[in-house]
Structure 1
């Protein structure tokens, strides 16, 4: 029985952690880059959804330094030109594409990014630029782009003269126009230029450019402004403006201006007169998304255009050519070292790139800032996760690489290009992955042959000869983010996932404005629904304007966003549209292409035109479905999550505890506890233990990030999330979370461990530590227990085999970062220990020259079978049995496992016996030395002691060569301890070979001789023991026989 109420949940699971698995290979959108001539190894980058990152070693490695702040979207980063420990971060991205995210003002760090303090502009949605006075860093000018979805007074240009203690909004033209860029004269910081830009985004279109836009200039450091018009400036409406001042000739200013009849303008007299120098679209391919320009600090004719491609001009902006080919596309940021103009850093949709000579660019994919739209999971062992990324395609990779170096970029396979949206393994055969990129470009990828095939149901793309931009005249419409799903019902063959058998595939669904169905892996498709959208023709015309159209597909509307079948009712399919409808059918047939009967069951409180991002039928409770509606593109940032418990007839809004101004992105019911829910919002992950009546943060160690998708892998019971800014994260084994209510009421609980697998790790990686390595799950059996309060002494865990034999006792402490920590955690709430499948190690020889030479830290690996975990909590002994299974790649029989284990167990015992003898010999040596030096010892007694000491050396040498350093073994041969057969308790479970068995027999003979020699020596000490007693001296300690 699972109880629905949890009293102190957040504290209860605070000891558990999420793990980041990457991949870094996917890259992610970098919106701002910053370096400094004060330290040529120091760089910062700002990302669209992953916060601020810092490198102190020239980009070899990076660390996130902003992940504990309340927002993750960054628009601008700047380093104080006089003190590199002072860093400014403007939050909220100012490249307002369809996935843009908001900020909450301006932040400042005075300790190199370790800590941050918000210094103002809290109401500003996004910040485009931070300009710091190089002569007086207390003087800072900030460009605030503002909210792209609605009018707001929190936009314009802000200025401070006291380092951020106070601000004034010195340039403001309208509630819909913000600052697109700011440029400060480095020689005379009183001169500042600013571009003002009207931009408004709706779900189905956007407008760029308005009557209040234009270029402004200040000559008093940003206190006052005047608009620059005429004298060569473009007439009529203007849109986004990008600015750059030539540092070596500051009267030369370049302005990228979105306008009719031109792209790049230049003035050589500080703005008094202007001339258009270029109308080449290479310079600014999509003004609303790019519009950045930069000038070489040493050469006023050397200009960089930062657009879809990185381009340069060497003639003052007249002609441009593409450079940095092969890096990535869609550039958004550039920084040039003011003292060395050959050192350049750029930011783009794939991350960042660096050059020190303007010829060779390093494009290191070592940042985990990937912007995931959706994730899909396979049912393999270990299971794969597939994730689709903004402008970085889709990748499939392992959640456990079985590589001791971690989950590396080379473990991921690229399954689709472009803007990846959905990547879902076929549940009937995970060899095949259904993956789509923007605008419904659906493919199926074969992970074995690595061949991809387009399988779009309607093969005519907007903008092509057969597919006009105007969607109102085509039969089918597809969203930028067209959904893929599979029927969850078992077929007659018993296979799950709607498997159709034969040479076909699972029953798949794909969303356009109708639901398409295929049972032959996309060879053929048929609609099984009518148009499920509002079908507003006015929302289907080309987007953009009034200056230029921009029809990438990102604004396509009146389409389906999510599809999911009920796991409990065959034929029940749910669909959510991007224009606010929730639709359901109960009579869909996976065996025919007939239209099903659909009902519009949209929750009454759903805002008109809200995006139905998630429809999630419960896998446990019939007639129960959860829905997320996202209305932020209409300027409404409230969360909307609904539940129906009667198939859509009535709905309840369930948002209590969620931040009121943080829109929801996704929801997922738990697969084992009907009261448990997970929700992703724009800046976090949330959990409910009572069916959505109350929510609380489930962040734990997660960074602040937009959570776009949540999935549960049923076999492993793992929670997997796709984040739009920090890639993919995994929470291993939800069992303790699912049982938390029962545990709280009991006061103490040992949770039933899931089946654990004895995987074999291997690595071909030689340790390239400049790359990112995702975290594998801990190797072993996860053992979770709950206690309402810490025990007076650290708990002790025991592992027993099926016969009740004690194999492992875990207790005591060890050092973690120089601090003694208990092996078994002892905190209130849920504690986790991972048993690594080994028995207790053999006895150590404490007299070894080095700690690492004292002996093995673990005993033999156990064989597959049933085991029991036992722990005493709150005065009661609790135990749970669980299964240890073999590595699924292994083909060994249980007999072979047992043979390998017996060999390992035998020599682990012998190793302990040898160390027992050595510990005894050390004690004897110390006692003999004390007796020899005692003033009470007679000459005769000393002679007896000397004889014993001489024999001691011979016995000691029979057991060990006593190596003191690693390569002593190549200078003198080892003895018995150095020759113990290690096969079996050195990490392998293979049975011994004939040669190993022969070696063991020969070793056994030598061991028996050494033990006999030792025991004879102990026996020979009896007369000496009597003499010592007679002299009133202590007996020889450790003089005990050893049983072979």
Structure 2
């Protein structure tokens, strides 16, 4: 045997790209709301602000989020559904990782990447998402822990200059409380479940404990059981955790509703709310017991707790309960076996805003009793003070600082060294005030700070340092609250997105609507996010006719309210202003009326046409074909009285094919563009509930999908006869756990590939919904509200999460397909070409049946590949005599033809732009020139190689794109130009008479350099991982090598076709050796088409 010599060549090859693509620089006009005191209401709707109170606004938003998260008063929720779903997802992922390599495993291992916002740029301000809880190390002001609403827990060890996420893998990322053990600061307790009384304040699973918190941060939990092993926390929010000042085993936990707040459901399957205590919290199996002495063991929310720092027996609590029960309670025996409580302050209000109380305490040196402060929404906003340990209270100020929204946000803190210095924040009336007079008056220090203050924490070891959490992120003061600087840096991801849309060609250009942080723009450079409109952002649309990234028609919704604000905004260019379309302040405009029933976040969708048609949903369906200037009602008016549309689906092929879903579960549609929509589910085949998405297959308007936002029931349904006008629906939820599915997309390049965004992450199906598997690694366990495929090289799936910003994953690298797969089952099929009659024969690996077509003649070159992107190889030939390509579509056996190349060219097709479609390509030996007809970026002409070289293109760098590559037989050299980065790699591997059989033999997602030696039937594979090699015998002289992935495990198998008996020999990596006769004398094996 001739020795194989490996020599890595470091020389570079000079190449010239004749035609290339580059993004055009663009900056979308920013909105500066640096001093905007009410960013929830956009500037253009300021008149509407007079028609809706902040409490009404927050209540309506809460109800909307509750329904979207599968929670409403008509459908009680089992809070264990989400933990069970997460456990099931973990089992599925574990099963996949234990399998041999496969497309499903590749999909699971595809890495998600966070793309921001971190932060949102709004003029001179920098914002992130809602921060709920803060805890500062007792002796180091630079060590701080921050909890975000659905954003998880972050730690900084340098005063907020940088952040590390500590709980992205936890069962709940909704953080309600953080407490550091004063006696052992390396122990940190984190309460999950946001305590604010809004349905966007999602429930948790109990308490997590972090050991070695400032270093390795070892996570234990969730901790949620009582001594009888009953779960006492899941489904609730944790409002506060108090750690005994000298005993880290003893903690008090206050719980609130946390399911849907004021807009959601409370039912008897949820744990009782109140105060819980553990005396073994730092141990291996902590347990909790409810303190039943509070208000006769009432099941009511406790919004906050505070203790006497010198005497933890004295515990003060704020109880949210109607009538005389609500108010402030005090215990003087909190450490006793059965603590008792006395009400020391009663509230007479009935709303949650009136009853909410936040507490803070200090025990001044020399004083007999601790001083407590209470910030309450009672009577519009008051600050109370107690100097006798909480036994009695005196009003310090009554300044209506809640206005009224204290049910949602209020925060108070006292300087740990000065009982007269107090910090207070809440509504836009007072964002971050400080008092030096024990709360009798406050000075605003929150200039430039986002409104809606949720948390204030003073550093115990340096009281000049104050940390502030708002709906706009995390801030810090180093001058005792006189001014604040944002800490919303590149590692802090907490934005709560509602929707997103992407540009038709620019891979970065994205707009997305967010809760309380406006509508934001990811610019073409892919480096920054800018706020382009204020208010609560909702759904978004980008016209898909855009040809550059400046003149781009865009749309987005704000909040909506019947008889007040019903409509959306649009702009024509990235530098232009937004114009409102619809009812504003009760005045109808643009054909949109004011009295419609409408969701808080009303659906917005585009159709085909130039410009794209745009649809807006209330209790009727509106359509515009002139950028929103005029609207026509294209449904009954209303479809169902009092029931708004929640989802709109329009066929990309035919604007007359439409489907809508309703809040209560109704489905209506038309196939003719009729303004009378038919009931598309009269027998109730689809589960009742909030229809979150309605999607029509972009390549087949007879196929549609609807998804729902429900817990405990199937949430994905499909029809294949939408075109009949009376579709039948099938549950295809399969292995997707029974959690809300809020986002859904059909891959336009391959309709068999579906993506479902759920309450716990993303699932993928590559067989049109027959099977589902978890998709990708590194995506935090947070709800996905929207998704889109960004075109580029490679294409990327971009998802909008409600709490961790946006993430994306490369599709090309994640869904690696097997070559010569004619039936779409991810396995190479045995297949031959019979030159005489021009016949193709293939044996379907999916069911063992034969397929045969006549296509081509004896002098044609075989060039099979997935030219249409449907996941199946298309029969295709290249005719050397005239350079024409002929492709027989696998979908319907129609064909198309086009000229590309000339006589003497060598066809070398591959997916060079990573869009999932094979690109026609030829290598011209006379000039060593490559001609690539990219399906995304057009024609590329490039010189690479020299006389005598042969093309050996494959994806050598694992980026999902074919790399230009040549084999130089005279020297046994391989030269590869990586498509990512453009660097050139060269290696000597093989001899002049060897056959090139490159492919991914090791299953790492990268093609390995490989040769087959005809003289003795030996295979030699150079591993892409480390450039080591292995060899083995398989075949004999006279055999024809036919490498491919015959068992669908993601690894190439050695295979040969023996012409003498028309017998195939396949060394399958998981299924053993296959020996099978298929073909006859003179047949050519198709998987040999690209062996050189």
- TM-score w.r.t. the length of structure 2 is 0.61
CA contact (8 A) 1:415 1:435 kept: no
Secondary structure, in 3 states, of the residue corresponding to 1:458?
strand
1:604 to 680, 684, 687: 684
CA contact (8 A) 1:533 1:579 kept: no
CA contact (8 A) 1:676 1:691 kept: yes
1:236-385 paired onto structure 2 within 5 Å: 239-248=355-364, 251-260=370-379, 263-283=382-402, 285-308=404-427, 309-357=431-479, 358-366=481-489, 367-385=492-510
1:120 to 223, 236, 241: 223
Within 2, Cα distance between the matches of 1:743 and 1:801?
35
Within 1, Cα distance between the matches of 2:657 and 2:185?
60
CA contact (8 A) 2:380 2:404 kept: no
CA contact (8 A) 1:754 1:782 kept: no
- Structure 2: state its 5+ residue gaps: 1-98, 121-127, 225-230, 561-565, 831-844, 846-863, 870-910, 918-929, 931-941, 969-980, 987-995, 1008-1092
CA contact (8 A) 1:342 1:355 kept: yes
Displacement after TM superposition at 1:568 (Å): 3.8
Aligned to 2:709: 630
CA contact (8 A) 1:19 1:730 kept: yes
Pair 1:744–1:384, CA change in 2 (3 A): same
Within 2, Cα distance between the matches of 1:88 and 1:747?
56
Within 2, Cα distance between the matches of 1:192 and 1:747?
72
Within 1, Cα distance between the matches of 2:735 and 2:603?
29
2:541 to 424, 431, 437: 424
- Structure 1: state its 5+ residue gaps: 199-208, 402-406, 468-472, 489-497, 500-504, 537-557, 590-594, 756-778, 786-797, 812-822, 826-830, 842-855, 862-868, 881-1044
Pair 1:232–1:746, CA change in 2 (3 A): closer
Aligned to 1:1026: none
1:32 to 111, 123, 133: 133
Within 1, Cα distance between the matches of 2:301 and 2:967?
67
Pair 1:55–1:808, CA change in 2 (3 A): farther
CA contact (8 A) 1:479 1:512 kept: yes
Pair 1:345–1:267, CA change in 2 (3 A): same
Secondary structure, in 3 states, of the residue corresponding to 2:302?
strand
CA contact (8 A) 2:112 2:809 kept: yes
Aligned to 1:196: 319
1:158 to 276, 285, 290: 276
Pair 1:220–1:576, CA change in 2 (3 A): same
**Worse-matched range after superposition: 223-232 or 578-587:** 223-232
Pair 1:561–1:738, CA change in 2 (3 A): farther
Tell whether 2:965 aligns with 1:871: no
CA contact (8 A) 2:447 2:483 kept: no
2:255 to 138, 141, 144: 144
Pair 1:325–1:682, CA change in 2 (3 A): same
Secondary structure, in 3 states, of the residue corresponding to 1:380?
coil
Aligned to 2:1049: none
CA contact (8 A) 2:812 2:915 kept: no
Within 2, Cα distance between the matches of 1:723 and 1:371?
6
Tell whether 2:796 aligns with 1:718: yes
Displacement after TM superposition at 1:604 (Å): 1.9
Aligned to 2:1036: none
Aligned to 2:242: 131
2:721 to 613, 635, 646: 646
Tell whether 2:102 aligns with 1:102: no
Within 2, Cα distance between the matches of 1:230 and 1:15?
57
Aligned to 1:746: 828
Aligned to 2:600: 480
Aligned to 1:69: 170
Aligned to 2:1032: none
The structure number with the bigger radius of gyration is: 1
CA contact (8 A) 1:458 1:476 kept: no
Aligned to 1:443: 569
Pair 1:743–1:338, CA change in 2 (3 A): same
**Worse-matched range after superposition: 106-115 or 831-840:** 831-840
Within 1, Cα distance between the matches of 2:407 and 2:640?
28
Pair 1:16–1:783, CA change in 2 (3 A): farther
CA contact (8 A) 2:556 2:568 kept: yes
Pair 1:614–1:30, CA change in 2 (3 A): same
Tell whether 2:663 aligns with 1:584: no
CA contact (8 A) 1:630 1:639 kept: no
1:181-192 paired onto structure 2 within 5 Å: 181-192=304-315
**Worse-matched range after superposition: 673-682 or 57-66:** 673-682
Pair 1:736–1:360, CA change in 2 (3 A): closer
Within 2, Cα distance between the matches of 1:573 and 1:290?
41
Aligned to 1:795: none
Within 2, Cα distance between the matches of 1:114 and 1:297?
27
- Residues 560-601 of structure 1 deviation map (CA, whole Å, 9 limit, x = unaligned): 222220224430112222233222122327xxxxx4444353
Secondary structure, in 3 states, of the residue corresponding to 2:815?
helix
Within 1, Cα distance between the matches of 2:483 and 2:511?
33
CA contact (8 A) 1:174 1:212 kept: no
1:519 to 617, 622, 625: 625
CA contact (8 A) 1:254 1:267 kept: yes
CA contact (8 A) 1:587 1:597 kept: no
Within 2, Cα distance between the matches of 1:231 and 1:386?
49
Within 1, Cα distance between the matches of 2:812 and 2:197?
37
Aligned to 1:889: none
Displacement after TM superposition at 1:621 (Å): 3.4
Displacement after TM superposition at 1:342 (Å): 1.4
CA contact (8 A) 1:232 1:275 kept: no
Pair 1:127–1:514, CA change in 2 (3 A): same
- Residues 453-473 of structure 1 deviation map (CA, whole Å, 9 limit, x = unaligned): 222x22225xxxx69xxxxx9
Within 2, Cα distance between the matches of 1:6 and 1:438?
49
Within 2, Cα distance between the matches of 1:210 and 1:602?
46
Displacement after TM superposition at 1:425 (Å): 1.4
Within 2, Cα distance between the matches of 1:109 and 1:874?
43
1:574 to 646, 651, 659: 659
Pair 1:645–1:784, CA change in 2 (3 A): closer
Secondary structure, in 3 states, of the residue corresponding to 2:578?
strand
**Worse-matched range after superposition: 175-184 or 134-143:** 175-184
CA contact (8 A) 1:284 1:305 kept: no
Within 2, Cα distance between the matches of 1:707 and 1:379?
22
Pair 1:483–1:535, CA change in 2 (3 A): same
Displacement after TM superposition at 1:613 (Å): 1.3
Within 1, Cα distance between the matches of 2:670 and 2:796?
30
Within 2, Cα distance between the matches of 1:117 and 1:251?
34
Within 2, Cα distance between the matches of 1:416 and 1:225?
52
Cα RMSD (Å) of the superposition?
4.1
Within 2, Cα distance between the matches of 1:563 and 1:119?
39
- Residues 979-1016 of structure 1 deviation map (CA, whole Å, 9 limit, x = unaligned): xxxxxxxxxxxxxxxxxxxxxxxxxxxxxxxxxxxxxx
CA contact (8 A) 2:812 2:914 kept: no
1:772-921 paired onto structure 2 within 5 Å: 801=944, 832=959, 858=983, 871-874=998-1001
Pair 1:578–1:247, CA change in 2 (3 A): farther
Within 1, Cα distance between the matches of 2:948 and 2:203?
59
CA contact (8 A) 1:671 1:714 kept: no
Pair 1:874–1:167, CA change in 2 (3 A): closer
